[in-house]
């Protein structure tokens, strides 16, 4: 029997002029975008909203598909495929579930050790933001 990649979701949550990151409680350790595995019977949109709520306490608005990341080595535990969404966070951030801590940092200032391929995802996101806002005047504020 052959193994198949495991589907997962990640969320780039913009809030208070920054991006929400969680510190992982379990291996692989490091800081990460909120996310996790899709449960049987869930859509990817439902999964990313659930994982974000469980790990950050935040609800998501303006949910949009950002990209799909499928490098077989992106997760040291096994081959995963992540469907990545961008969104605005609503509520009061609070670390929960498998998040040991939570931080909101301007994307340009993120210099924490990131788990998985999240540095690649954030670099892609920053490049996309620069294309949309050539003057580099980013606004992550809640409206």
Over residues 88-95, the mean pLDDT reads 96
pLDDT band of residue 102 (cuts 50, 70, 90) is: very high
**pLDDT greater at residue 32 or residue 142:** 32
Q: Which CATH architecture has domain 6-132?
A: Alpha-Beta Complex (3.90)
**Residue ranges per structural domain of the chain:** 6-132
pLDDT digits 0-9 by tens, 43-70: 999 999 999 999 999 999 999 999 999 9
Q: What is the DSSP string of the chain?
A: ----PEEEEEEEEEETTEEEEEEESSSSPEEE-SEEEPPTT--HHHHHHHHHHHHH--EEEEEEEEEEE--TTSSTTS-EEEEEEEEEEES-----TTEEEEEEE-GGG--SPBPTTHHHHHHHHHHHHHHH-TT--------
Supply the pTM of this predicted model.
0.90
């Amino acid at each position: 029997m052959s193994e198949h990649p495991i589907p997962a979701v990640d969320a780039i949550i913009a809030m208070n002029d920054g991006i929400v990151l969680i510190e992982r409680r379990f291996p692989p350790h490091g800081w990460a975008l909120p996310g996790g595995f899709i449960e049987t019977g869930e859509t990817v949109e439902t999964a990313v909203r659930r994982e974000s709520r469980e790990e950050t306490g935040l609800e998501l608005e303006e949910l949009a598909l950002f990209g799909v990341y499928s490098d077989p080595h992106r997760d040291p535990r096994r081959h995963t495929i992540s469907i990545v969404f961008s969104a605005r966070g609503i509520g009061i951030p609070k670390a929960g579930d498998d998040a040991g801590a939570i931080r909101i940092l301007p994307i340009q200032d993120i210099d924490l050790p990131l788990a998985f391929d999240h540095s690649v995802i954030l670099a892609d996101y920053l490049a996309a933001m620069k294309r949309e806002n050539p003057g580099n005047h980013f606004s992550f504020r809640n409206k």
